[in-house]
Amino acid sequence: MKKTLIIIVNVIIIAAILSFVVIYSGYASKDSYRRQITNFENTAVSMEKVTANFLEGEQRVCDVWARYINNKSMTMAEAADYIRSSHVLSNTSAHVVYLDTLKGLSTRPRQGTADDYEVSYERVDLLKSLKLDDEIGRSVQITRAYTNPMNGEQSLAFCNTVVLKDQDSQTLKNAILMRIIPISELEQKWIFAQTELVNAELSMIDADGDYILKGPSFKNSNFFEFYKSYNQTDPESTKQLSEKITASTGSITMLNSHGQECILAFTPVDATSGWTMLAFVPANDLNVDKQNWLLFGVVSAGLLILFLIDMFHVLFLNKRLQTTAREAESANKAKTDFLSTMSHDIRTPMNAIIGLTTIAEKNLGDVESTEESLRKISLASNHLLTLINDILDISKVESGKLKLSPLTFSIVETVENLVNISQPMIKEKNLEFSFHINQMEKEYLYADQLRLNQIYINILSNAVKYTEPGGKISVDMLEEKSSVSGCIRLVYKVADTGIGMSPDFLETMYQPFSRQVDSRVNSIQGTGLGLAITKQMVELMGGTIDCISEQGKGTTFTVTLDIPVADRQREDMKLDPVDVLIVDDDEVMLKTAADTLESLGASTEQARSGLEALGMIEHRHLSGKDYDVIIVDWKMPEIDGTETISRIRSEIDTKVPILLISAYDWSDIEEKAKEAGANGFVSKPLFRSTLYDKINDLIGKESVSIEPEDDYSDLAGLRILVAEDIDINWEIVSAMLEMFGITAERAENGRDCVEKMREAKEGQYELIFMDIQMPEMNGIDATRAIRKLENPWASSIPIIAMTADAFSENVTECLNAGMNGHIAKPIDIKLVIREIRRIREERKQS
Amino acid sequence: MKKIICMLISVLMALELVSCGSANKTAGKAFKPSLDKNTKCQINVAGGYDNFEALEAEFDRFNEFYPNVELTYTKIDDYNNMIGTVLNGKDAPDIYVNYNWMYGRDKYKSSIDHAENLADKSLGLDLSCIRSNILLKTDDGALPMVPIFSNTYGMLVNDDLFKKEGIKVPTTYKELVEACKAFRDKGYKNPMMGFSKGETTSLFTLSIYPYLFESVAKDKEAVKKLNSLDPSAGEYLRPSLEKIKQFMNDGCVDVKNCDEIKNNYDAVILRFFEGDVPMMTASGDTVSGTEKRKSRSEAYIASPFNFSFVPIPMSDEGATFVDMSNLQFSVNKDSSNLKMANEFMRFLITSAELSNMAQKKGLMSPTKDLSFNSMYAAFGNVPDSRILSPEEIGLSDDALLQMRLAVYKVGTGAMTIDEAVAGYGSFSK
């Protein structure tokens, strides 16, 4: 309705403007047309003046002759002779004719003769009706156009009456002197000089309307008859028109013989008695209507274009607004759905935690039950924490404030961690799992390990989540050359045989809060944020993430990242010359393990089953060339790894060290394997450093390790000030720190913390863990106050926020206040230890 | 509703296109220009008429094909005497009016000598549309002129009066006498009138000419004698003179009343327009003046009526159509724009254009088809056997003058039949 109204209003405005243009241009056109007509009238008047001058000039010649003839009392022959000798123009002539007989003499001989000068006007209806003024020189006296009887030319004659002496009777007789000018001569002179009036014509009529001179467009022998023939009129109107035209100067509009509208300008010829000059021109020659139509056309087209542009622009804006509204509505709905999901997802683990805590409290005496409850509480807690972390991450992603914190880390550890984390789920769902690495040369890389872990875990955990029990998951990690200097290209590929994704979902899967709608999926826990976070993080790290998926068949995610290589590498990993037998049914595994071992300097042989291995070992044993190390995969057809080991030990009686490898959680089989005779365990994938370390362990050589493993001695005796107002939180953090030999001292609020720092001796505290929301003085103000302390040590002490305010703006606020880091509650002690070590390392470097 | 309107508009547009197309087709069929349509030149037509609006209308039509050709009509004073001079002068026209009576007369030699042979097939003139008996070629087969208008003698008939009184327009002499009697019985004083004050186109001449022509048409000896103005040839006039006498005695005409008609043109027309005369003898020339004179007759303006021009039935076998050429056009073979002059003639000499022009002028068309103008339609119904042309018969102008005077004198009672027969060859105006 509103749209229609707007269109109607627009159309009305356009119509109003166009009407104005039409009216105005019509008025301007009429005005211009009137001016043109006035100009045309003026031109006619000018032509009349020119004509009058010409007529008077010619008449004067005739007058001079007449006066002379009258004064000299000539005979006709004498008069003819006189005129013949007087006029010099070859194209004119003169006739002297007696008025009674209408016969006389011509100054030029008859056509085709040399001496026949006699002329007769008896049969020419001209002189009888001619009214001449007896007084010479008073007026112009001209005949109508007539046929000169001497030569047949259409001519005009300027006349005067003269008195001649009759040669025979010697009496005086009235005669008429005619100075004759051919019409063709006049026509050449008598044209409009103005080039724009090429179609204009002139005519001259006498008082009755008979033409004296006639333009080509003037029809009939009488102008008024011509007018009547082609224009609607009546006798009275014709009479009025006749009076008007013959007595005044002006113009009228009339039709010509073609029915074309013309302008007739008229003005009396003053030099004559009752003659009128007529100027005739087609009205179109004076009209400028075409320009107005052009103006109208241009304005119309312009307004139409404007209207259409406006309309389309409004429609476009409307469409965009609708889209935006839909998007906002969709986003709002997504967030509502998300909050609803979150509520559900948070309540679920919370329910487990609260419920299991209640159960544990009631079963305190039952150690096994309590441990089971605590284990489940821990699992639920971790899930809850994952949810909260995802919320934090997506908040950071959406605000564009997700920052990377690159550190030197071991990709081996990362992968081990990845496998360890996923193992319980894989085991629980009884999935077939394989993890291949290929050409992994560089162990230490420089990147944000936390985020890298998050990427890899997200993808792998999704594969595990969405693959139904009995399915298969295979992970491939490949090191390639990178086009970026100082980097390797790390390709991480996770393929599953899970439920797959629909093409529609593939298009939106990276959008926050989206989850595949599937009856099987709804039972799977998830925040709908994982892929969104993963993609953002991959892109933040300059990498790519690709996905190929088919519903019902499975999904393959490939993450490609260019990661800088850390300065430090274990360049000196070389084994003593050892013979190694690798036993696995997995060809890829066999090849990669053999390549890795050979690159470490070992000699390798491969067996594709336990039985084959038994034969090869026995053969070596009998020939006295036992292998130095045997590596056996756990899961193999026919006889598995433990049975193979058992038979090696029982049937061959060799002491060769045997390593059992598995892609699965081997804690369950550890005892059995040890009993069978395994000397050590290695998790797949088999990294170069892992193999190096394990083989060295087995052959009795200590490997060189860079990172201390489970060695927290560097933290012992450390003193940390913890600003925390909540007692329970204080208890948790102090207890956890104490587990690592760290001494924690409490400040109950911000003000207390500041006071403690002011009074503290230099070096009394290594750093401060600062809660944010505290009574009396919050953590932010306390930090600012500490940074303002005069003591340089005190004012520069590292301060780590330890707060439940976990959103990015909270982190930013903390850092802006002068803090050095941020740890979100609930605290992960590993993160706390890592943060402490980072701070210490930075202080050492500075 | 919108759909219906759209369909209607589409149909109208289609009809308009079709009609435009067909209009062009008709125009194209009538005349196809053979010269460059942008040709720019002047064509001057000379004649003796003061006004020649009918021709000027043809100029306008011709300009539709050749817009840059400027056509003008020039009236030549004392035309018959001056045309020779004009043709030899600087203002020589491209096309000019000519008359077949100028053949063989030295005075008018120029007028014939300057004429192009219009029978030349290369000119492409459609001469077949003109009645052959008025299309007169010279002895050598040339055609110096073509008739533009034709003329005849007959009578104007007040159709409304005939209708009102329930009287049939006569087609035989007997019916004519009966009709006159019937009108007289109904109180009409003058059932038939005509100009009687002079011999030129007098009612006697107009009435008896057809009869006279018919009586000598097939007698070459008679024609020869009549042309020689031999007094003995007067006997050939006797049947006609007796017929005019009978005509006067039969009471169709009251000469006394006819004498009140002052001239053979305006006065004849205006008297007829009084509305009380059922039949008025007239020539085709006179008929051509009727249209313009309607507005000059107060009686006609007050009580207009329908009228037509029919042959006078002076024989019981029926009426005779005296077919005469009126105005003829020649092309000046020395014209500086000869091609365009011929192109104009090719345009003009068609049944449609000649009929248009004749109708506008009010004269009889020289074309075979006379149905274009209802005024002359009755002449189209006369069988070919009763169509006579003086030129075809071969009677000379001098002989015709003698015959005309003899008839006039007998008709007016100035002479007896015997005196008129004996006086043949000695009559003068």
Indicate whether A72 pLDDT > 50: yes
Q: Residue A665: its pLDDT value, please?
A: 65
Determine the Cα–Cα distance for residues A69 and A277; give it in Å rounded to an integer.
32
Taking residues A319-333, what's their average pLDDT?
Answer: 84
Instruction: Give the CATH number, domain containing residue A583.
Output: 3.40.50.2300
Judged by CB atoms closer than 8 Å, whether chains meet at A220 and B53 is answered as yes
CB-CB neighbors (< 8 A) of B71 in chain A: 216
Q: Are residues B176 and B312 in the same domain?
A: yes
Q: Find chain B residues with C-beta within 8 A of A112's C-beta.
A: 88
Q: What is the pLDDT of residues B81-112, one digit of tens each?
A: 999 999 999 889 999 999 888 888 888 999 99
On average, the pLDDT of chain B sits at 88
Question: Over the stretch A41-67, which tens digit does the pLDDT of each residue have?
Answer: 888 888 888 888 888 888 888 999 999
What number is the average pLDDT over the span A579-593?
A: 88
Pair (B343, B213) in one structural domain: no
ipTM entry = 0.81
- Name the domain count of chain A: 4
Same domain, B280 and B408: yes
Does B2 reside within a domain? no
- B106 interfacial to chain A (CB closer than 8 Å): no
Q: Where are the alpha helices (DSSP H) in A363-448?
A: 367-399, 411-429
Strand partners, A682: A661
Contacts of residue B390, Cβ cutoff 8 Å, sequence gap at least 6: B213, B322, B324, B400
Q: What is the pLDDT of residue A782?
A: 94
List of E strands, A413-539: 432-438, 444-447, 472-481, 487-496
Higher per-residue pLDDT: B206 or A307: B206
Note the Cα A76 to chain centre separation in Å.
104
Residue B214 lies in a domain: yes
Is the domain of A510 the same as that of A466? Answer: yes
User: pLDDT-based confidence at A705, cuts 50/70/90?
Assistant: very low
Are B169 and B56 within one domain?
no
CB A450 within 8 A of CB A831: no
* Bridge partners, residue A799, by sequence: A768
The per-residue pLDDT for A514 is 62
pLDDT of residue A807: 60
Domain range for A635 is: 579-698
Is there a single domain that holds both residue B84 and residue B118? yes
Instruction: List chain B residues with CB under 8 Å of A126.
Output: 77
- Average pLDDT score over residue span A264-271: 87
Distance from CA of B86 to the nearest CA of A (A): 4
The answer to whether residue B24 is domain-embedded is: no
Contacts of B60 in chain A (CB under 8 A): 257-258
Shared domain for A416 and A516, answered yes or no, is yes
Mutate to test the interface with B, among A106, A147, A237 (most CBs of B within 10 A): A147
Binary contact (A126, B86; C-beta < 8 A)? no
Flag whether B22 is in a domain.
no
pLDDT at A254 over 90: yes
Alpha-carbon gap, residue A343 to A345, rounded angstroms:
6
Cα–Cα–Cα angle for A514, A519, A522, rounded to 5 degrees: 50
Q: What is the pLDDT of residue A495?
A: 94
**Across chain A, what does the average pLDDT equal?**
83
Contact A221 B75 (CB under 8 A): yes
Burial B104-137 (b: 16+ CB within 10 A, else e): eeeebebbbebbbbbbeeebebeeebbbebbbbe
Are residues A745 and A692 located together in one domain of the fold? Answer: no
Residue A448 confidence (pLDDT): 82
Shared-domain flag, residues A355 and A411: no
B70 CB near a chain A CB, below 8 Å?
Answer: yes
Residues B364 and B390 in one domain: no
Region class of A406: left (phi > 0), else alpha (psi between -120 and 50), else beta: beta
B89 and A222: CB-CB below 8 Å?
no
> Within 10 A of A804 (CB to CB), how many other CB atoms are there?
14
Q: Is the pLDDT of residue A706 over 60?
A: no
User: pLDDT tens, B151-162?
Assistant: 999 999 999 999
Report the range of poorest mean pLDDT among A509-523, B183-197, B341-355. A509-523
- Do B49 and B128 sit in the same domain of this protein? yes
* pLDDT for position B14: 42
Contact A152 B60 (CB under 8 A): no
pLDDT score for A704? 41
Q: Compute the count of residue pairs across chains A and B with CB atoms less than 8 Å apart.
A: 65
Q: Which residue in chain B is spatially nearest to A152 when comparing CA positions?
A: B86
| Domain finish residue from A698, A724, A750 | A698
pLDDT at B393: 86
Same domain for A823 and A734, yes or no, is yes
Q: Taking residues A356-384, report their average pLDDT.
A: 81
Residues in chain B within 8 Å Cβ distance of A222: 51
Residues of A in contact with B70 (CB under 8 A): 216
Residues of chain B with Cβ-Cβ distance to A233 below 8 Å are: none
Burial label for B26, CB within 10 Å (0-12, 13-18, 19+), is: exposed
The predicted pLDDT at position A194 comes to 60
Query: Where residue B10 falls among pLDDT bands split at 50, 70, 90?
Result: very low
Residue B192 lies in a domain: yes
Contact B91 A258 (CB under 8 A): no
- Among B350, B256, B293, B308, CA closest to B58: B350
How far is the CA of A22 from the CAs of A10, A150, A292, A332, B387, in angstroms?
A: 18, 61, 8, 54, 66
pLDDT > 70 in chain A, percent: 90
pLDDT, position B358: 92
My answer on whether A379 and A485 are in the same domain is no
Residue B17 lies in a domain: no
Please tell me the least confidently modeled range out of A183-197, B231-245, B264-278, B370-384: A183-197
Judgement on whether residues B53 and B125 belong to the same structural domain of the protein: yes
What's the whole-number mean pLDDT along residues A744-756?
A: 93
Whether residue A555 lies inside any domain: the answer is: no
The answer as to whether A670 is a domain residue is yes
Query: pLDDT above 90 covers what percent of chain A?
Result: 20
Q: Which of A219, A224, A255 to mutate to test the interface with B (most CBs of B within 10 A)?
A: A219
In a domain, A148, yes or no: no
A599 inside 8 A of chain B by CB: no
Q: Report CA torsion sign: B284, B285, B287, B288.
A: positive
The answer to the question of residue A44 being in a domain is no
Give the pLDDT mean for B336-346.
Answer: 96
CATH number of the structural domain spanning residue B86: 3.40.190.10
- B77/A126 touch (CB, cutoff 8 Å), yes or no: yes
Do A833 and A720 lie in a common domain? yes
**DSSP state string for B286-346:** HHHTHHHHGGG-HHHHHS---EEEE----STT---EE-EEEEEEEEBTT-TTHHHHHHHHH
Eight-class DSSP state of A195: G
In a domain, A569, yes or no: no
Angle at B161 between CA B159 and CA B166, to 5 degrees: 95
From A149, A221, A258, residue closest to B82, measured CB to CB: A149
Contact of B235 with chain A, judged by CB distance below 8 Å, is answered with: no
CB of B232 within 8 Å of a chain A CB? The answer is no
- Residue A515: per-residue pLDDT: 60
* Mean pLDDT, residues A678-704 taken together: 75
More confident residue, A346 or A709: A346
* Residue A422 near residue A464 (C-beta atoms within 8 A): yes
Residue A142: what residue type? I
Residue B20 has pLDDT above 60, yes or no: no
3-state secondary structure of A106: strand
Q: Which of B62, B90, B113, B298 to mutate to test the interface with A (most CBs of A within 10 A)?
A: B90
Do A717 and A834 belong to one domain? Answer: yes
pLDDT score for B8: 44
Spatial distance between the Cα atoms of A539 and A561, rounded to a whole number of angstroms: 9
Domain co-membership, A829 together with A753: yes
Nearest to B85 among A124, A125, A152 (CB): A152
Total count of domains within chain B: 2
Asked whether the predicted pLDDT for residue B23 surpasses 60, the reply is no
Residues of A in contact with B89 (CB under 8 A): 111, 151-153
- First-to-last alpha carbon distance for chain B, in angstroms, is 82
Instruction: Name the 3-class secondary structure at A700.
Output: coil
Residue A807: name the closest of A783, A819, A824, A827 by CA: A824
What is the per-residue pLDDT for A808?
54
Residue A139 lies in a domain: no
Strand partners, B367: B130
- pLDDT band for A109, please (50, 70, 90 cuts): very high
The token pair that represents A211 in the structure block: 């033409």
Using an 8 Å Cβ cutoff, are A43 and A279 in contact?
yes
Q: Between these two residues, A213 and A117, which has the higher pLDDT value? A: A117
**pLDDT at position B177 over 50:** yes
pLDDT, greater one: A563 or A414: A563
* Last-in-domain residue among A674, A698, A722: A698
Shortest CA gap A247–chain B (Å): 25
B401 and B272 share one domain: yes
Is A295 within the bounds of a domain?
A: yes
- Per-residue pLDDT, averaged over A345-368, amounts to 79
Same domain, B163 and B301: yes
* Structural domain boundaries, residue B330: 33-150+326-379
Residue B13 lies in a domain: no
Encode burial over B312-347: b for 16+ CB neighbours within 10 A, e otherwise. bbbbeebbbbbbbbbbbbbbbeebebeebbbbbbbb
Closest Cβ–Cβ partner in A149, A229, A258 for B78: A149
- pLDDT class of A722 with cuts at 50, 70, 90: very high
Q: Are residues B283 and B352 in the same domain?
A: no
Binned at pLDDT 50, 70 and 90, residue B118 comes out as very high
Residue A676 sits in the same domain as residue A802: no
Q: What is the gyration radius of the CA atoms in chain A, in angstroms?
A: 61
**CATH number of the domain where residue A532 is located:** 3.30.565.10
Examine the domain organization and report whether A779 and A821 are in the same domain. yes
Q: Place A833 in a pLDDT band, splitting at 50, 70 and 90.
A: confident
A499-508, B349-358, B417-426: least confident range: A499-508
Same domain, A355 and A475: no
B60 with A124: Cβ contact below 8 A = no
> Is A743 among the domain residues?
yes
Kindly state the average pLDDT of the residues A344-373: 79
Q: Among all residues of chain A, which has the CA nearest to that of B48?
A: A147
The C-alpha of A215 sits at a distance from chain B's nearest C-alpha, in angstroms, of 9
> What is the number of other CB atoms lying within 10 angstroms of the CB of residue A694?
21
Same domain, B309 and B356: no
Q: In this structure, are residues A667 and A694 in contact, taking their beta carbons and an 8 Å threshold?
A: no
Q: Which of A537, A570, A603 is the last residue of a domain?
A: A537
Select the residue from B85, B114, B297 to test the A interface by mutation, using most A Cβ atoms within 10 A: B85
The terminus-to-terminus CA distance of chain A in angstroms comes to 72
- The string of pLDDT tens digits covering residues B202-213 is 999 999 988 888
Dist. CA B75–CA B73, nearest whole Å: 7
- Reading the block at residue B192, the tokens are 């038939």
pLDDT reading at A295 higher than 90 = no
Asked if residue B241 is part of any domain, the answer here is yes
